[in-house]
Structure 1
Amino acid sequence: MQTQLTTGRPTPPVPGGRRRDRGDHLTSRRETVRDRLTPLWLLSPAMIVIGTLTIVPVLLLVASSFTDYDQRSLFTGAFDLVGLRQYLEVFSDAEFWWATILTVAFTVAMVAATIIVGMAVAQLLTRCSRPVRHVVTVVLVLAWAMPNVASSVVWTWLFQPGYGVVNWLLEQLVVFGDTSYLDWRQSPVLAFLSVWLLVVWQAVPFVALTLYAAQTQIPAELLEAARLDGAGEWRMYRSIVLRILRPTLLLLVVLSTIWDFNVFNQIWLVTQGGPDGATTTLGVYTYRTAFVSFGIGKGAAISTVTTVLLLILTMIYVRRLVRSGEEL
């Protein structure tokens, strides 16, 4: 440009300029491909682990559901392909449908109670003082971090007839009569209630702390402006807080549905599916079929159906989650 201004003549093209432009173009393409492949290389260890521990077992599970794999196959390795026979037996089994209905009812009851109680605890955490908040947070984390097996065993002690603390407390209330020798596992309603309380008690800390963390990110200016306009506490919570927390709530509903739908340890350790199948969910029914009756092929079919049901529910909730995020 400077040469053109001083001499008035255009600057001659640089020899090989077109070749250098092509080289720059190829270099940029290589950099683009490298930038696209770099995340895949970084994710490859995690993808290998997930594929080994999740995808491969699922494929083996689906393959086993088309066989007559049983106790004999465990020792001889011999089995036959039976096609859809296992699925036909599962769908024609009345116990399977009863377990499915019970699992859905169980999941709805546990998820609803967990979300409601978790929302209440999260709201209380925003109102209490800092020392009290720290103490409550530590207690919630300890309750959530306790292993399922240990908490289930302790839970059976609490509800044990004769020396259980819960029976003793109910007797002190002088409302339910003599409950010292009340056996919760012998009543369908009480067995369901004891497992429900255990699962909700373990799930509330995660929901409460997650909602509290999300609620602390709400701008204080919004609440202050609503308060100046004369809105009450309940109106602010319903119109502002819940609206902002909607994506978080939907995500928690998805996770709670998956976890509660697959609950097994607590039910098996507390009631073992009794009495008379009153707490026999799909998890307990699958375990009994595959590892008690050694109908491994049929158990694999039940697990496959359960996985498909969870995928459908998850897809529905994720779609709503995406829509709620777009609306916000």
Structure 2
Amino acid sequence: MSSPAATSVAAGEPVAAAETPRRPRKRRGPGAVTRPGLTPLLLLSPAGLVITALTIVPIGYLIYLSFTNAGQKMLFTGTYDIVGLRQYRDILHDREFWRSFVRTILFTAAMVAGSVVVGMGVAQLLGKIGTGFRYAVTVVLIFAWAMPNVASSMVWGWLFQPGYGVANWLLTQTHLFGDVTATNWANSPRLAYACIWMLIVWQAVPFIALTLNAAQTQVDPAYYEAARLDGASEWRVYWTITLHFLRPTLLLITILSVIWDFNVFNQIWLISNGGPNGATSTLGIYAYRNAFVSFHFGVGAAISVVTTLLLLVLTAFYIRSLIKAGEDL
């Protein structure tokens, strides 16, 4: 008995070539992982090049410079020697370094506490005033926050100048402290700290107030109505409900404020130059004086590296808080 293929050949019909079996295509489900390709890398490469050129390379050179004795000789001859960890050993045995470190910690704590407390008060005020006044205050806060800190520091210094400073004249008119028109705030450690503290708090309050006010508007008004129906006072409502919902935002703002205030330099340098007698010299001022006043670039680089390591610890807390806040959503 002949096969069908033989029958078709005998009949003169063309025989189709043997078809190779095809593998069925795998359908990608919604959770399938696909290769991203080179497109994301090409899109991110401009930002990556900028970050590398402006951040990674300078930090790498700073770390390298901290292991050298680069100083004024390098400016003229371009030569320096590798000294290893000697710069770090010298600054860790320097009393002025530890004094500057303690000043930085205490001053940062004072600035952060003042900024957060005043910012919370302004945020609460924004929720109590009318719409027109709220818009006006918001615009003023944005303008104050957008002003460059160098320009605002110079204007602030003029306000407290002896002889013609507006702040000294206003304080004299109150008759609370006598005649203070000739008072030089930069010549007194306490007055210099107070002047710098007020400046930094004034610059930090807009961001904190607007951020907290935005977070406060997301709280369901039903919580406030239920608390007031139960007879809770306004302070109790704020402490129990508002602060409870603002806790994640407050934590992130506090950590950010610590990082920013730890790095404060322009305001201190333009107001008091780290004086009088180094009384307002923080780690930033201490590093600047060593690097660009005494021309000990290696020492200044080592101080900057130590400061960066301290900030990395704070940044780790910040990132951990961001991740935790994202998980709580």
What TM-score do the two structures reach when normalised by structure 1? 0.88
Equivalent residue runs for 1:4-83 within 5 Å: 19-21=23-25, 24=26, 32-35=33-36, 38-83=39-84
Q: Please, which moves more after superposition, 257-266 or 71-80?
A: 71-80
Asked whether 1:160 is paired with 2:164, we answer no
Q: Which amino acid aligns with 1:181?
A: A
Q: Which amino acid aligns with 2:237?
A: M
Instruction: Give me the whole-angstrom Cα distance separating, in 2, the residues matched to 1:235 and 1:67.
Output: 59
The offset of 1:32, in angstroms, is 3.9
SS for the counterpart of 2:35 is helix
The offset of 1:93, in angstroms, is 0.7
The offset of 1:130, in angstroms, is 0.6
The offset of 1:245, in angstroms, is 1.3
In angstroms, what is the RMSD of aligned CA positions?
Answer: 2.1
The offset of 1:258, in angstroms, is 1.1
| CA deviations over 1:180-235 (Å, ceiling 9, x no partner) | 11111111100111011111111111111111111111122222222223322222
Task: Judge conservation of contact 2:256–2:318 (CA < 8 Å) in 1.
Answer: no
Task: Judge conservation of contact 2:255–2:318 (CA < 8 Å) in 1.
Answer: yes
Task: Judge conservation of contact 1:247–1:325 (CA < 8 Å) in 2.
Answer: no
Q: Which amino acid aligns with 1:20?
A: P
SS for the counterpart of 2:45 is helix
Task: Judge conservation of contact 1:68–1:80 (CA < 8 Å) in 2.
Answer: yes
Task: Judge conservation of contact 1:246–1:324 (CA < 8 Å) in 2.
Answer: no
SS for the counterpart of 2:176 is coil
Asked whether 1:274 is paired with 2:243, we answer no
Q: Which residue in 2 is equivalent to 1:189? A: 190
Q: Which residue in 1 is equivalent to 2:126? A: 125
Instruction: Give me the whole-angstrom Cα distance separating, in 2, the residues matched to 1:59 and 1:248.
Output: 34
| CA deviations over 1:257-293 (Å, ceiling 9, x no partner) | 1111111111111100000111101111111000010
Instruction: Give me the whole-angstrom Cα distance separating, in 1, the residues matched to 2:34 and 2:211.
Output: 39
Instruction: Give me the whole-angstrom Cα distance separating, in 2, the residues matched to 1:213 and 1:144.
Output: 16
Equivalent residue runs for 1:1-328 within 5 Å: 19-21=23-25, 24=26, 32-35=33-36, 38-320=39-321, 322-323=323-324, 326=327
The offset of 1:327, in angstroms, is 5.7
Greater radius of gyration (CA): 2
| CA deviations over 1:78-99 (Å, ceiling 9, x no partner) | 1111000000111011111100
Instruction: Give me the whole-angstrom Cα distance separating, in 2, the residues matched to 1:84 and 1:285.
Output: 19
Task: Judge conservation of contact 1:144–1:206 (CA < 8 Å) in 2.
Answer: yes
Indicate the percent of aligned positions where both proteins have the same amino acid: 60
Instruction: Give me the whole-angstrom Cα distance separating, in 2, the residues matched to 1:237 and 1:43.
Output: 44
Instruction: Give me the whole-angstrom Cα distance separating, in 2, the residues matched to 1:210 and 1:55.
Output: 31
CA spacing shift, 1:248–1:158, aligned 2, 3 Å: same
Q: Which amino acid aligns with 2:23?
A: R
Task: Judge conservation of contact 2:264–2:284 (CA < 8 Å) in 1.
Answer: yes
Instruction: Give me the whole-angstrom Cα distance separating, in 2, the residues matched to 1:297 and 1:224.
Output: 62
Task: Judge conservation of contact 2:252–2:321 (CA < 8 Å) in 1.
Answer: no
**Gaps (5+ residues) in structure 2?**
1-18
The offset of 1:34, in angstroms, is 3.2
Q: How many residues align?
A: 309
The offset of 1:249, in angstroms, is 1.1
Task: Judge conservation of contact 1:250–1:321 (CA < 8 Å) in 2.
Answer: no
Q: Which amino acid aligns with 1:126?
A: G
Q: Which of the pair is proportionally richer in helix?
A: 1
The offset of 1:313, in angstroms, is 2.1
What TM-score do the two structures reach when normalised by structure 2? 0.88
Q: Which amino acid aligns with 2:253?
A: L
Q: Please, which moves more after superposition, 44-53 or 254-263?
A: 44-53
Where in structure 1 do 4 or more consecutive aligned residues deviate above 6 Å? none
Q: Which residue in 2 is equivalent to 1:10? A: none
